[in-house]
């Protein structure tokens, strides 16, 4: 058997298959099943910044309406505010604590955030609850015309700076590909202290039903062809980064895992394939990777990780070619 052990965010994983933040990782029982089937680590379903803050605002307004707050400047305002937020977070902290009792694989907490506001203080509680690392799922809408691209990027840096000042556990950042000068953006995340980056986030997308004339949701699951975007970025960035790279989106089988590792990824994140095929699919993926390694005489992942990254390619421009001209010019 090949040794699939790898390091991610300073943690030892038995293999590079990380279950991405999703409904798959929202209960202790489900995570236990993922563990039994061989997952290397799991990223818990995200707790949302808005989920905490808006719930608190709603309760506070209700308390005012009911006459429970005597003055706008009453100390009870702060008490209720803190109490509500702690209650909202409590379920998430319990998930971390209970899961840590049941499994030995690393548990990575996840926060979906859009600002560096007060919510950041709760990350210390996440750390105390036993999370092995923290993944920040940050997304600032690229269609906000009131702020420029530099201001949008600064939000990401500010969040990382603030979190790194609060916690001691490793911190990764999950981002989208929607940036001007994406490569420089990723480098700056490392400069600001990020221990890893997840490439890329996949968002809920709209569709239009032309029969009902309504906006609907597009397919929520990724497809194997979607791997190409992250594969390109992983391969290009591998030589430029010291921090770890987690490849995500479009990774559905063992072949996709191997491709991302060859490109230079540290680990791969998977969700849609597990939704479609069940936790048992992890076993099949790991067998494929193991058989492929044994068939080529690889005993360890580091023997081939990054072998086909841009830095190792004889013709590195292949990862930078964006046009179809050459392809179509050869069609008779």
CATH number for the domain that contains residue 159? 3.20.20.70
Contacts of range 290-295, beta carbons closer than 8 Å, 24 or more positions apart: 290/1, 290/2, 290/4, 292/254, 292/258, 293/2, 293/4, 294/1, 294/2
Q: What angle do CA 79, 85, 88 make, to 5 degrees?
A: 140
pLDDT given for residue 323 in this prediction: 59
Kindly state whether residue 1 falls inside one of the protein's structural domains: no
pLDDT given for residue 65 in this prediction: 55
pLDDT given for residue 204 in this prediction: 77
According to DSSP, the residues that pair with 207 across neighbouring strands are 216
Q: What is the CA radius of gyration of the chain?
A: 22
To which H or E segment does residue 292 belong?
helix 281-295
- Segment 35-61, tens digit of pLDDT: 999 999 999 999 988 766 654 454 445
Kindly state whether residue 222 falls inside one of the protein's structural domains: yes
Kindly state whether residue 311 falls inside one of the protein's structural domains: yes
d(Cα 104, Cα 35) in Å, to the nearest integer? Answer: 8
pLDDT given for residue 121 in this prediction: 87
d(Cα 133, Cα 163) in Å, to the nearest integer? Answer: 12
pLDDT given for residue 118 in this prediction: 78
Kindly state whether residue 213 falls inside one of the protein's structural domains: yes
Q: What are phi and psi of 162, to 5 degrees?
A: -65, -45
Which one is predicted more confidently, 67 or 225? Answer: 225
How many of the other CB atoms lie within 10 Å of CB of 303? 13
Kindly state whether residue 251 falls inside one of the protein's structural domains: yes
Look at 77-81, 104-108, 278-282, 312-316 and tell me which has the smallest mean pLDDT: 77-81
Indicate whether 71 pLDDT > 50: no
Indicate whether 112 pLDDT > 70: yes
Kindly state whether residue 235 falls inside one of the protein's structural domains: yes
Kindly state whether residue 19 falls inside one of the protein's structural domains: yes
Indicate whether 318 pLDDT > 90: no
According to DSSP, the residues that pair with 268 across neighbouring strands are 17, 247
The residue to which tokens 């005993």 are assigned:
299
Band (104; pLDDT cuts 50, 70, 90): very high
pLDDT given for residue 291 in this prediction: 98
Q: Which domain holds residue 218?
A: 6-329
* Token pair listed for 51: 């989920």
- Segment 180-238, tens digit of pLDDT: 899 999 999 999 999 999 999 988 789 999 999 999 988 889 999 999 999 999 999 99
Please choose, from the candidates 219, 222, 224, 221, the residue with its C-alpha nearest in 3D space to the C-alpha of residue 260.
224
- Segment 131-187, tens digit of pLDDT: 999 999 998 877 778 888 899 999 999 999 999 999 999 999 999 999 989 999 999
d(Cα 30, Cα 173) in Å, to the nearest integer? Answer: 24
d(Cα 22, Cα 46) in Å, to the nearest integer? Answer: 7
How many of the other CB atoms lie within 10 Å of CB of 27? 15
How many domains does the structure of the chain reveal? 1
| Mean pLDDT of the residues in the chain | 88
**Percent share of the chain, pLDDT over 90:** 71
pLDDT given for residue 10 in this prediction: 98
Kindly give the residue spans of alpha helices, DSSP state H, lying in 66-210: 75-102, 123-129, 149-166, 182-191
């Amino acid at each position: 058997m090949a040794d699939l052990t790898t390091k991610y965010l300073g943690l030892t994983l038995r293999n590079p298959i990380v279950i991405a933040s999703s409904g798959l990782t929202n209960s202790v029982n489900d995570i236990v099943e993922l563990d039994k089937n061989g997952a290397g680590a799991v990223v818990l379903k995200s707790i949302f910044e808005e989920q905490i803050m808006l719930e608190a605002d709603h309760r506070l307004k209700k308390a005012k309406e009911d006459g429970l707050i005597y003055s706008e400047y009453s100390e009870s305002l702060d008490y209720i505010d803190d109490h509500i937020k702690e209650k909202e977070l409590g379920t998430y902290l319990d998930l971390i604590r209970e899961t840590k009792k049941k499994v030995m694989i690393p548990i990575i907490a996840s926060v979906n955030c859009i600002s560096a506001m007060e919510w950041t203080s709760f990350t210390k509680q996440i750390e105390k609850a036993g999370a092995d690392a923290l993944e920040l799922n940050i997304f600032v809408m690229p269609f906000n015309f009131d702020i420029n691209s530099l201001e949008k990027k600064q939000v990401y840096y500010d969040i990382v700076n603030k979190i790194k000042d609060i916690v001691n556990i490793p911190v990764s950042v999950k981002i989208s590909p929607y940036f001007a000068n994406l490569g420089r953006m990723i480098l700056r995340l490392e400069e600001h202290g990020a221990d890893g980056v997840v490439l890329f986030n996949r968002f809920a997308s709209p569709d239009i039903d032309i029969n009902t004339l309504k906006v609907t949701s597009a397919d929520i699951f990724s497809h194997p062809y979607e791997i190409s975007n992250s594969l390109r970025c992983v391969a290009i960035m591998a030589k430029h980064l010291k921090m770890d790279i987690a490849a995500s989106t479009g990774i559905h089988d063992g072949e996709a895992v191997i491709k991302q590792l060859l490109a230079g990824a540290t680990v791969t994140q998977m969700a849609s394939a597990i939704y479609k095929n069940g936790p048992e699919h992890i076993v099949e993926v790991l067998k494929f990777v193991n058989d492929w390694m044994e068939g080529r005489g690889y005993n360890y992942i580091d023997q081939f990780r990054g072998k086909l990254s841009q830095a190792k390619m004889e013709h590195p421009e292949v990862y930078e070619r964006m046009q179809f001209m050459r392809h179509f010019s050869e069609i008779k």
